[in-house]
Amino acid sequence: MALRLGDEAPNFTAQTTEGTVNFHEWLGTGWGILFSHPKDFTPVCTTELGAMAKITNEFKKRNVKVLAISVDPLDAHKGWIKDINETQNANVNFPMIADPERKVAMLYDMIHPNALDNMTVRSVFIIGPDKKVKLMLTYPASCGRNF
């Protein structure tokens, strides 16, 4: 069954650039933004994550945690963070989920069924303190976002 507004956000445990995260525990009593990107080390994804890194402190002031995800492995994420920080004059200060087996991506319907590859589409989910989905946005992998 597809994830819908008002549904409880699926819980998961995943490896991130900041250690293992149990999503619901990590959210605690605050709000959360879970967003996906198609591929590490690509120009549009690099600018998107750089832009998010520059505004993450504004979210923190409002008790909102930010979590990124793609199907790339953890080592790729860690190397890419250095690249983002250098090229975007930013400091990536939020965890990135490594989901090479696509388990979390499938829970949140981030893999387009007609795509020729298995990359995640560009999705954004806002999760409330009650762990319910408050907003869902999905863009094709070919379309960048402006946070």
As given in the structure block, the two tokens for residue 29 are: 């009593």
Q: What is the spatial distance between Cα 16 and Cα 90, in angstroms, rounded to a whole number?
A: 19
Q: Which of 45, 96, 121, 133 is catalytic?
A: 45
b/e per residue 62-86 (b: at least 16 CB within 10 A): eebbbbbbbbbebebbeebbeebbe
Count of all residues that appear for the chain in the document: 147
Q: Is 143 one of the catalytic residues?
A: no
Q: Which residues pair with 19 in a beta bridge?
A: 16
Catalytic residues, by residue number, are: 45
